Structure 1
Amino acid sequence: MKLRELTALIPNAVIQGDTEIEITGVSNHSQRVKPGDLFVCISEIPGYQEDRHPYALNAVQAGAAAVVAERPIEVDVPMILVKNSRHALAVLSAHFHRYPSSELKLIGVTGTNGKTTTAHMIEAILRHAGNIAGLMGNIGTRIGDTTFTTDINTQEPPVLQANLRRMVDANCTYAVMEVTSQGIDAGRVLGCDFRTAVFTNITQDHLDYHGTMDNYIAAKGHFFSRLGNRFSADPNACKFAVLNADDQASAVFKQLTAAHILTYGIQTDADVKAEDIRMTAQGTAFRAVTYKGTIEMQMAMVGTFNVYNALAAITTALAEGLTLETIRDGLASLPGVPGRLEIVDEGQPFLVLVDYAHTPDGLDNVLRAVKAFAENKIITVFGCGGDRDRTKRPIMGGISAEYSDYVIVTSDNPRSEDPTRILSDIEEGLREKLYPSDQYVLIENRAAAILHAITMATPGDVVVIAGKGHETYQITTDETIHFDDREVAREAIRERNGSTN
């Protein structure tokens, strides 16, 4: 593709150099540049993403054929000056990959908690109905039966658009994508033609990024306002906003979108409701009362929060014209989601669960669900991330005190922050709840903390290891190391079993 074809997409760009050169890719990461790429220098997001302008020379040395930037840079390749390089990156990436979202029914799921599980539920239902569906999110990207990991949840435009194109080429008819507030704010999903936007919930998180809850809600709101402002008699051209009727933020999103609104809930009147909810340690059953009829649903996951996730998936599937019977069978076919109340079983006489809960609401949901079926003590292991919202730490400490019989506070991606300070912040919440000092311990080393929990567990106990879920790394000041809660827990159980044999 000629550079001039790409530069023509940005009307107010100032072009310096030959635009007849060939461009073979788009990148915004200097270490991933390939010969012939157009390198886009995105601007800084303080504390989260570096300014890429200083890396333009590195990109050129790696083979970049041209550079897009917001300010002049001394490079010996054509340079395109733009007002907003993030917007330009999205425009250029979508065009280079031939607007793949226009060839898919693209479903985006946003919210503080439940994005991953809801996306997996939607994908499972669509696949059960005979569709080929792609999936992008926290656990990685799945195209057909092939899954590969990604470094961030909502991917940067060059990667995101390339993956959507791969889905089209693999004959996918649907793509289901998790959409984060940071991804929306940073312009990563600009140019994605979403058919359906799904909202799970909003609770305290990412305030280190957004500053206030109002800003956080506003970022989510952009997702719904960008669904478009037109109607069509073609059912394939319809747009849907699937909203949680029990979350007050839905009222904001209703006002922002021109899409058809479908609601779901438990407490409030909605288009899709759950009644007669029954839970056991093995799963959950409920009656789905919908605008298309009523049917019994069964799933392998537990917790009221997962009922909400299921309702969001059911509502999305109904918008696609699927029958309630197909939706029921598709939901039942999903055995679980990695790192979401995932069982670690080595034959031990107690239950070990690993979950991604890393927000106050997430931890509350998980521990509340466990409390409903736990036969004996609940032992909770968790921490909070460094260089992130400090205000949620004592809140999460208080939540752990409310539901747990014993709490082990530990590290969870401390990054550049002193781990002992993070643990101390969490401990404040335990003390505020007057939680007995002999019922909790601070263990900075996460592996040691997990081992401590496994060692002290007795028959019938439930050990909940929260915060990392599917993640396979631990980020410290100096390095990122391999760390998987499930692997560590499994090894701890084996060590315990060996010591008792």
Structure 2
Amino acid sequence: MELRPAHAEPVSVARVAARLGVDVPADVAALQVTGATVDSREVRAGDLFGAFPGFKVHGARFGAQVSGSGAVAVLTDAEGAEILRTDGVDLPVIVVDDARAAMGEAAALIYGDPSKDMAFVGVTGTNGKTTTSYFIESALKRVHARTGIMGTVELRIGDEAIESPRTTVESPVLHGLLARMREEGVTSAVTEVSSHAAALDRIAGVEFSVAVFTNLQWDHLDFHKTMDGYLDAKGRLFEPGRARRGVINVDDEWGRKLAARVEIPCERVSTRPEAPQEAEWIVTWADVGLDGVGSRFTFTDPQGVQHHAESPLPGLVNVSNAMVAIVAAHAAGVPLAEAIAGVAGGHEVPGRMERVIERSDVDPLAIVDYAHTPDALTLALEGVRPITPGRLILIFGSDGDRDQGKRPVMGEIAATLADVIVLTDENPRSEEPAAIRAAIREGIQKVRPELHDVHEVEPRVAAVEYGLRLGRPGDTVIVTGKGHEPTQEIAGVFHRYNDRDAYLAAHARIVAERKAEQQ
């Protein structure tokens, strides 16, 4: 799928510099740019290349490569300018103090500020971003003929989609894709906004119609250091000039802290019986989907009028996601009745409480869920317990090169809420897989010193089959942590892998064995 518009009106370097509030030499000012990128491998003739410090190397080190690929100019900081000079790269340079933020503004200008030409919703929060985004898009479809979505699972324009490289793409890709959407007749779009993306200015130059906050829970403290720092990153989405209005779930203390300090018009949502006083949209009753398929709930709007609504997914967490999505879609211009109907009719979200194998007289129910934080794991296990007549079998691990403190905590949660545990690997990345499992096992042993009904199995594909084979008809087998993800990263190498596919392949072998035994 093409991530840029087919046609782009040339923009002078002088206009780019003016947008950024800097000066450029007269002989550079008249140069014309037609695209933008921060990836040296993606440079096309006419591009502005953004060069700034990366995790391993400064982007200016690729100056000679991008010059040979047709870049018109480089946008960088003082360090990058010196690298280009030292390396003898003969390209015009725009020097700014903050190249990351400036690149977003430059890309927005180059692609014609596409975010301003559509109903554009940004969704942030620790958990629920993907599900809420899909619910919002489903509601937007009630009044918009063509929609787009960008997030953890995919980048999609109408029915055309590709796998997403990350939760929130780099700013030039974001603006280029929005311009392509506009060119294709898209009038509304939704994007997930990770805290890393906000902190690293991947949303620079964007103007959201509505900014949405789902919750803040323990995650990413390896990057943000503290919960307050984590909230600060999320809060950047709600700054004046970045979003016209906000929708904030105030069920947790962090949502209430955010709502108390935002300066843009904001609507507050609560799904708890003891709703905070400041909430205007309040869920008053919920049937959380004991059939395992969906949930029903009622809520009151800011005028006190009661409405009936549905979530296509079970569990209180999805009542929350659905409620936030209804309010967000309504804030983006969808009539309330249409927003309610749109969310109720939403399709299954990949890797989010995804039922892969249905319960039968021979099979357990098999579910895939993305839960990868302590709170999300708790909600996932509590959500499936009511639909589990037999044992709850959990297959899980934890990411490498990420917040290590949550590993034993998740082990305790697993040992408390699951009947049987199959401990395995998630994305070890550069860490030793056995060390990650050992940290989780420490938490498990606080609850089960003898490790009763705890099995340690690797690789992950074998663990999924092991857990499925343990399951009996009344049991529920749930594998958490990776959800929709199409790869597993081990020792820096990405291997094709998906939990749903692993379930289905294992089930096919089990079915074949049953047939062979009957012959």
TM-score, normalised relative to structure 2 = 0.90
Say whether residues 1:53 and 2:60 are aligned partners. Answer: yes
The structure 1 residue matched to 2:161, chosen from 121, 143, 147, is 147
The structure 2 residue matched to 1:216, chosen from 208, 211, 230, is 230
Give me the whole-angstrom Cα distance separating, in 1, the residues matched to 2:143 and 2:75. Answer: 44
Q: 1:275 to 1:76 in 2, by over 3 A?
A: same
Q: Higher mean Cα deviation, 118-127 or 289-298?
A: 289-298
Give me the whole-angstrom Cα distance separating, in 1, the residues matched to 2:302 and 2:204. Answer: 32
Alignment-derived partner of residue 331 in structure 1? 343
Say whether residues 1:288 and 2:293 are aligned partners. Answer: no
How much has 1:21 moved relative to structure 2?
3.4
Give me the whole-angstrom Cα distance separating, in 2, the residues matched to 1:10 and 1:337. Answer: 39
Say whether residues 1:363 and 2:370 are aligned partners. Answer: no
Q: Higher mean Cα deviation, 263-272 or 201-210?
A: 263-272
The structure 1 residue matched to 2:253, chosen from 245, 248, 255, is 248
Say whether residues 1:303 and 2:310 are aligned partners. Answer: no
Q: Is the 2:126–2:219 Cα contact (8 Å) retained in structure 1?
A: yes
Equivalent pairs counted in the alignment come to 489
Structure 1 spans left out of the alignment, 5+ residues: 229-237
Q: Higher mean Cα deviation, 17-26 or 210-219?
A: 17-26
Q: Higher mean Cα deviation, 78-87 or 356-365?
A: 78-87
Alignment-derived partner of residue 11 in structure 1? 21
Q: Is the 1:19–1:78 Cα contact (8 Å) retained in structure 2?
A: no
Give me the whole-angstrom Cα distance separating, in 1, the residues matched to 2:485 and 2:441. Answer: 24
Say whether residues 1:32 and 2:49 are aligned partners. Answer: no
After superposition, what is the alpha-carbon deviation per residue over 1:161-197, rounded to whole angstroms, capped at 9, x for unaligned?
0111122222222221111111110011111111211
Alignment-derived partner of residue 156 in structure 1? 170
Alignment-derived partner of residue 451 in structure 1? 465
How much has 1:111 moved relative to structure 2?
0.4
Q: Higher mean Cα deviation, 387-396 or 262-271?
A: 262-271
The structure 1 residue matched to 2:32, chosen from 22, 27, 45, is 22
Alignment-derived partner of residue 87 in structure 1? 101
SS at match of 1:209: helix
Alignment-derived partner of residue 410 in structure 1? 424
Alignment-derived partner of residue 233 in structure 1? none
Structure 2 spans left out of the alignment, 5+ residues: 1-9
Give me the whole-angstrom Cα distance separating, in 2, the residues matched to 1:271 and 1:316. Answer: 13
Say whether residues 1:264 and 2:264 are aligned partners. Answer: no
SS at match of 1:441: strand
Q: Is the 2:17–2:24 Cα contact (8 Å) retained in structure 1?
A: no
Q: 1:156 to 1:15 in 2, by over 3 A?
A: farther
Matches within 5 A, 1:37-116: 37-44=47-54, 46=55, 50-70=57-77, 71=79, 72=82, 73=84, 74-116=88-130
Alignment-derived partner of residue 464 in structure 1? 478
Alignment-derived partner of residue 382 in structure 1? 396
Q: 1:318 to 1:8 in 2, by over 3 A?
A: closer
SS at match of 1:158: helix
Q: Is the 1:195–1:227 Cα contact (8 Å) retained in structure 2?
A: no
After superposition, what is the alpha-carbon deviation per residue over 1:45-82, rounded to whole angstroms, capped at 9, x for unaligned?
x4xx6432222222223332322222221302222222
Give me the whole-angstrom Cα distance separating, in 1, the residues matched to 2:259 and 2:307. Answer: 27
Q: Is the 1:16–1:80 Cα contact (8 Å) retained in structure 2?
A: no
Q: Is the 1:295–1:324 Cα contact (8 Å) retained in structure 2?
A: no
Q: 1:17 to 1:399 in 2, by over 3 A?
A: farther
Give me the whole-angstrom Cα distance separating, in 1, the residues matched to 2:154 and 2:135. Answer: 15
TM-score, normalised relative to structure 1 = 0.93
Q: 1:129 to 1:4 in 2, by over 3 A?
A: closer
After superposition, what is the alpha-carbon deviation per residue over 1:405-428, rounded to whole angstroms, capped at 9, x for unaligned?
111111111111111111111111
Give me the whole-angstrom Cα distance separating, in 1, the residues matched to 2:283 and 2:386. Answer: 18
How much has 1:351 moved relative to structure 2?
0.5
How much has 1:141 moved relative to structure 2?
1.8
Say whether residues 1:273 and 2:278 are aligned partners. Answer: no
Give me the whole-angstrom Cα distance separating, in 1, the residues matched to 2:209 and 2:27. Answer: 39
The aligned amino acid for 2:491 is T
Q: Is the 2:144–2:187 Cα contact (8 Å) retained in structure 1?
A: no
Aligned CA RMSD, in angstroms, stands at 2.0
How much has 1:259 moved relative to structure 2?
2.0
Q: Is the 1:383–1:411 Cα contact (8 Å) retained in structure 2?
A: yes
How much has 1:20 moved relative to structure 2?
3.5
How much has 1:324 moved relative to structure 2?
4.0
Say whether residues 1:319 and 2:331 are aligned partners. Answer: yes
Alignment-derived partner of residue 4 in structure 2? none
Q: Is the 1:227–1:258 Cα contact (8 Å) retained in structure 2?
A: no
Q: Is the 2:240–2:263 Cα contact (8 Å) retained in structure 1?
A: no
The aligned amino acid for 1:144 is G
How much has 1:153 moved relative to structure 2?
1.2
Give me the whole-angstrom Cα distance separating, in 2, the residues matched to 1:60 and 1:323. Answer: 50
Give me the whole-angstrom Cα distance separating, in 2, the residues matched to 1:22 and 1:173. Answer: 28
How much has 1:398 moved relative to structure 2?
1.0
Matches within 5 A, 1:432-447: 432-434=446-448, 436-447=450-461
Q: Is the 2:119–2:332 Cα contact (8 Å) retained in structure 1?
A: no
After superposition, what is the alpha-carbon deviation per residue over 1:417-463, rounded to whole angstroms, capped at 9, x for unaligned?
11111111111110112354131122231011111101111111111
Give me the whole-angstrom Cα distance separating, in 1, the residues matched to 2:397 and 2:208. Answer: 35
Q: Is the 1:26–1:40 Cα contact (8 Å) retained in structure 2?
A: yes
